[in-house]
Amino acid sequence: MPHTANSLKAELNARGWRLTPQREKILTIFQNLPKGNHLSAEELHELMEKQGEGISLSTIYRSVKLMSRMGILRELELAEGHKHYELQQPYPHHHHHIVCVQCNRTIEFKNDSILKHSLKQCEKEGFQLIDCQLTVTTICPEAIRMGWPSALPSNWCCTRTISKGHIDGQEAGEPPGSLPDLQ
């Protein structure tokens, strides 16, 4: 069930917090984001400033962290060192992300086999699955057209080909789908 200001207020009150106008505005912004959009704390701050909201960046950081711990927002690390947030969606609305390391363009995709494999592995090891998210770091077609990959160090990215569950260069006897040491 999607979070509303009233449900957020109830959850905050139950934990000894209160629903401030700033937290309510943050929730509203995330509820109104087009599907597939994510915001960093900095982007949220910029957006709120454009809307005339006087809120400090530190307040935004604290609020999104709190809302993330409460399960209202989902914290994503889509680019190295850059956390983004989106509304938490209940199963089966999980999704994964493909992210360009040059321009941060992000595309969401669904793949139930990733979730099923993760769940099976967790059960095998005695873990309880809480969330399943995969971020695939890439170089988008536009960045390739701009010649950006030529600036990458040769050892920076995986150059192995994955096809039909087999990774070129995979050693005999390794379980299918396991990743060989890429160093």
Establish whether 140 is an annotated binding residue: yes
Establish whether 166 is an annotated binding residue: no
Q: Residue 18 and residue 10: Cα distance in Å, rounded?
A: 9
Establish whether 94 is an annotated binding residue: yes
The alpha helices in 52-145, defined as continuous H runs, are 57-69, 112-125, 141-145
Burial label, 83 (beta-carbon count in 10 A; 0-12, 13-18, 19+)? middle
Q: Residue 115 and residue 41: Cα distance in Å, rounded?
A: 28
Establish whether 100 is an annotated binding residue: yes
Q: Pairing state of beta strands 135-138 and 96-100?
A: parallel
Which residues fall in the annotated binding site? Answer: 94, 100, 103, 140
Q: State the binding site for Fe cation.
A: 94
Provide the annotated binding site for Zn(2+): 100, 103, 140
